Structure 1
Amino acid sequence: MKNKICHISTAHKENDSRILLKECQSLSKAGYDVSLIINSNHDKTLYGTNIKALDYNNTGRLHRFFKKSRIALDKAIELDADLYHFHDPELIKLGMALKKKGKKVIYDVHEDVPKQILAKSYLGPIWIRKIISRGYNFYEKNRSKSFDAIIAASDELAAKFDNKSSISVKNFAIRDVIENAKPIKRENNDKFVIIYVGSITKIRGIRELIQVTELFLGKVELWILGPFESEELKKECMSLEGYKYCKYFGSLPVKDVYSYIKAADLGMCTLYPTENYKESIPIKVLEYMACEKPLVLSDFEFWKKFFGNVGKYVDPLDINSIKEGIEYFSEDRSRIEIIGKENKESFINNFSWDREEKKLLELYKKVLK
C-alpha cells in the first residue's frame, strides 16, 4: 500500500515550481500517493499530484493566517496522511497541531524569514524590525525542534535549525523540462534582448533594469516575465521613460518561460544587497544557465563563490555598473556563446534537480521508516 503524503501551502499557487513541479512530482514518480493543499480554482490532478483547492482569490496575509490556515488544517486532517510537509512559516502552528495528533511532519523553509523581516520597511523603523526579527527567529527555531525533519532551500539555512534531521534541498532547475523548450520567434533580431524572470519587486532591482535599458536608446530591449508585487509598483514602472523599451509578458507557465529565456541574449539578476538576498540561491540564475545564457548579476561574494564565472558581476544599485555589464556582451556577442555553453555544462554537472531529488527521497524513507 502506498504511503499517503500531504503537502500544504496557503501562500503559494498550484503551479509553484519548488512545491509541485519538483518535490510533489518527484515523490509521485517514486510511488507515493501525493496530495497538495494549495491555492487553486478547483480540485484536480497535476503531475501525479491530487490538488486540494483552497480559495484562489483570498491570498492576503491576515486571511491566510487566521482563516485559510484553519481550512487547510481541516482538509489535512480529513486526508489522514502518513506524512505532512508544509511550506509556509505561518503554518508552523498547523504543523504543531498535526504533531499533537501523532503525525509525522516536515517543515520546508524556503526563505530566511528573520532576514526578510529586516528588509520590510512597512513594518516600521529598523529598531522595531530587529525586535520582530529576533522574536520570530526564536519562535521558528524553538517550534521546529519538534518536527520530524527540516528541509531548507540552502545549506546555510539548514544549518540554522537545531534539528537532527535538518537538510538542504536546493531549488535547482529540472533539466528535462528546460531541454524540451523551444525558443520563441523574435520580432526583431537587431535588438539586444535582456530578460528578467521572477517576482517583480523594488528590491529585486526592477526600476534599475528599466532605467539602464533607457540608456541604450532602443538598441537594448528588456523582457519582463512574472507578477508585480503591487499595482502601484506596476504603474510606477510603466511611468518610467525607459519602459517604452520594455515588453511585459505577465506570468507564464514554467515551460513557456524557458522558451523566452532561450530567445533572449542575456539573463538579468540584479537583486538589492539585502541580508536575505546576499546568501540566496535564485532559481532564475540556474534557469538562465540551463538555457545556455550568460548573466549580469549582483556582485555578492557568496554568489561569486557559489556560481563562479557565469557572466559579469555588477553593483545592483548603480545603473552605470549594470550598463557596463550589459555592454560586455552586447559589444562582443561571441562571449554570449562561450560563457553560455560553459554555464549549461556547469548546470548539468552541478545544479540540476536530479541531485536534490535523491536527497528528498532519502529523507522521506528515513522519516517514514
Structure 2
Amino acid sequence: MRVGMLLRGTYPDDIRVRKEAAALREAGHEVYLLCLAGEGVEPATVDGVAIERIDWDGYRASIRAVNRASYLFGSFDGIWFRRARRFAAVHGIDVLHVHDLPLVRTGLRVARSLGGIPVVADLHENYPAAMAQYRSERSLFERVRARLLRPLSRIERAEREAVREAEAVVTVVEEALDHYIEDCDGDPDRVHVISNTVDLDRIDALERTPVPEDVPDGFVVSYVGAFGPHRGIETLIRALSETPEVVSLLLVGAGSEASDRRLRRLAASEGVADRVTFTGWVEFEDVPRYIAASDLATVPHRETDHTATTVPHKLFQYMALETPVLVTDVGPLGRIVRETEAGVVVPPEDSAAVAAEIAGLLGGERTGYGENGRRAVETRYSWARDGERLRQVYDGFA
C-alpha cells in the first residue's frame, strides 16, 4: 500500500514518526510524507521516505490570517487541505496517516474528497488535556484570549469526531486507550496502542562514552527533556536540599527563558545552585552519554489529565541504557516502573519522598533496577513489538 503521512512539524525531528515510517516500509509499504519546511536545504528523501514540505512563509500574510481563523473556529486548515489533497492524489495514496489531533479533521475531509480512503488518526497525546495544561502555565491575558478564540470544548469536540470517524486510532498507552473508548465513544476494535518505546538498534548504535565534560562528579540524578511546570523539575531541586552533598542534579535540555530563570532562582533559594547543572539543549545523538553517566534518571511529572494519559520516550531510553529510574506515581509511569521493577516510584510533588529514595539508593538499594529495565525494553516494551502492532493495523486495510 501507499501510505501518506501528514505531520504538522518538521522531519526527521519527530522520533515517533520516524520509527513508524520505518516499520511500515519494512512491511513493504511505500511511505510518503507531507510536513512543514524547516530551515536551510532539506532532503527530498530520508530513509526511503519521500517528503514534500509546506513553506509557511511562502504564503501571504492575509492568506495565513484567513487560514488561522478557519482553524481556530472550525479546526479546519485550508492550506493543509489543498496541499494534502494534491499530495494524496499525485502519489495515489491508499491510506492517510494523520499525526496528532490538529490535522485530523482536515485529513478526514481530504479522505472524503478522494472517495473515502481510510484514515489513521495517530494521537500522540491527549490533546485537549495538553492544551488545558499548557494554558494554565500562561499569563492571565493569554488564558482569556485562548478561552475566547479556541475554547477547550471545541478541541474536545474535534477529538470525539476524530475518534469516531477515523478507520483506526493509534495512541501511546493503555490509559489513553481507555480515555478514547470511555470519554470519546471510540470503538474498542479500532483503537490501538502503539507505545513510545525505543528502537534498540538505533540507541545501541549511539556512543555512551566518553562522559561529557559538564557531567558533575558524585551521585548524579538526571532529568532529560524540555522544562515546564508540569514536568516536576521543581520537586527534584527541592529534594536536592534534603540529600547529602555528594548528590547533584543534571538537567539535560532546555525550556523557555522564563522556565530556565524560575528553576535557577529556585535552586538558589534552596541553597543548591552549585549542585545543579544546566546543560542547555543537547542533540539526540549525544543524550545517551548523559544518561549512561547518571546514577539515577527521572521522570518527575506532576499529576494532570495530560500526564496521566501519556508516556514519554525518555522513560524507555533510560531503561534501554540500564540506568535506574525514579518516576512519580502518575498514570502509566508508576504502572510501568512497578511492573518492570526498573526503579522507584514516588508520589507527585513530594520532595521528601524523592530525597528518601535517593538516600536509599545511595545506600546500595538499587541492585538490579538497570538490568530489569533493559530486559523490559528487550521484551514487553520493545519497538520490535510495537512496530509489529502498527503493521497489523495496516494489515486490516489490505
Q: TM-score, normalised by structure 1?
A: 0.85
What is the rounded CA distance, in whole Å, between the counterparts of 2:27 and 2:373 in structure 1? Answer: 30
The aligned counterpart of 2:356 is: 324
8 A Cα contact 1:293 1:336, kept in partner: no
Report sequence identity in percent.
22
Q: Offset of 1:196 from its aligned partner?
A: 0.9
8 A Cα contact 1:99 1:147, kept in partner: no
37 and 327 in structure 1: CA distance in 2 versus 1, 3 angstrom threshold: farther
The aligned counterpart of 1:289 is: 319
The aligned counterpart of 1:270 is: 300
8 A Cα contact 1:11 1:64, kept in partner: no
141 and 299 in structure 1: CA distance in 2 versus 1, 3 angstrom threshold: same
Q: Offset of 1:89 from its aligned partner?
A: 1.4
SS at match of 2:125: coil
Q: Offset of 1:314 from its aligned partner?
A: 1.5
The aligned counterpart of 2:31 is: 34
The aligned counterpart of 1:168 is: 193
The aligned counterpart of 1:191 is: 218
The aligned counterpart of 1:178 is: 203
The aligned counterpart of 2:108 is: 96
Structure 1 residues not aligned, in runs of 5+: none
8 A Cα contact 2:176 2:309, kept in partner: no
Q: Does 1:108 align with 2:122?
A: yes
What is the rounded CA distance, in whole Å, between the counterparts of 1:155 and 1:223 in structure 2? Answer: 31
Q: 2:233 aligns with which of 182, 185, 206?
A: 206
Q: Does 1:231 align with 2:257?
A: yes
Q: Offset of 1:275 from its aligned partner?
A: 2.1
1:19-168 matches, within 5 Å, as 19-20=17-18, 22-39=19-36, 40-41=38-39, 42-44=41-43, 45-55=45-55, 65=71, 69-80=77-88, 81-101=93-113, 102=115, 103-119=117-133, 120-121=135-136, 122=138, 132-159=151-178, 160-161=180-181, 162-163=186-187, 164-168=189-193
RMSD of Structure 2 on Structure 1 (CA): 3.2
347 and 89 in structure 1: CA distance in 2 versus 1, 3 angstrom threshold: same
Q: 1:18 aligns with which of 16, 19, 23?
A: 16
Q: Give the aligned residue type for 1:5.
A: V
SS at match of 2:32: strand
What is the rounded CA distance, in whole Å, between the counterparts of 1:213 and 1:52 in structure 2? Answer: 47
13 and 69 in structure 1: CA distance in 2 versus 1, 3 angstrom threshold: farther
The aligned counterpart of 1:314 is: 346
8 A Cα contact 1:299 1:315, kept in partner: yes
Q: Offset of 1:204 from its aligned partner?
A: 0.6
Q: Give the aligned residue type for 1:18.
A: R
Q: TM-score, normalised by structure 2?
A: 0.79
What is the rounded CA distance, in whole Å, between the counterparts of 1:206 and 1:306 in structure 2? Answer: 20
51 and 336 in structure 1: CA distance in 2 versus 1, 3 angstrom threshold: farther
What is the rounded CA distance, in whole Å, between the counterparts of 1:217 and 1:74 in structure 2? Answer: 60
Q: Offset of 1:135 from its aligned partner?
A: 4.7
Structure 1 runs of 4+ aligned residues shifted over 6 Å read none
Q: Offset of 1:198 from its aligned partner?
A: 2.1
1:333-352 matches, within 5 Å, as 335-352=365-382
192-201 or 28-37: which moved more? 28-37
257-266 or 348-357: which moved more? 257-266
Aligned length: 357
Q: Give the aligned residue type for 1:211.
A: R
SS at match of 1:150: strand
Alpha-carbon displacement from aligned partner over 1:279-303 (angstroms, at most 9, x marks no partner): 4333222211111011111023754
Q: Give the aligned residue type for 2:29.
A: Y
Q: 1:251 aligns with which of 269, 277, 281?
A: 281
Q: Give the aligned residue type for 1:50.
A: A
8 A Cα contact 1:311 1:339, kept in partner: yes
199 and 68 in structure 1: CA distance in 2 versus 1, 3 angstrom threshold: farther
1:354-369 matches, within 5 Å, as 354-367=384-397, 369=398
Structure 2 residues not aligned, in runs of 5+: 59-66
Alpha-carbon displacement from aligned partner over 1:236-280 (angstroms, at most 9, x marks no partner): 223331344233333334332222211211111110011221343
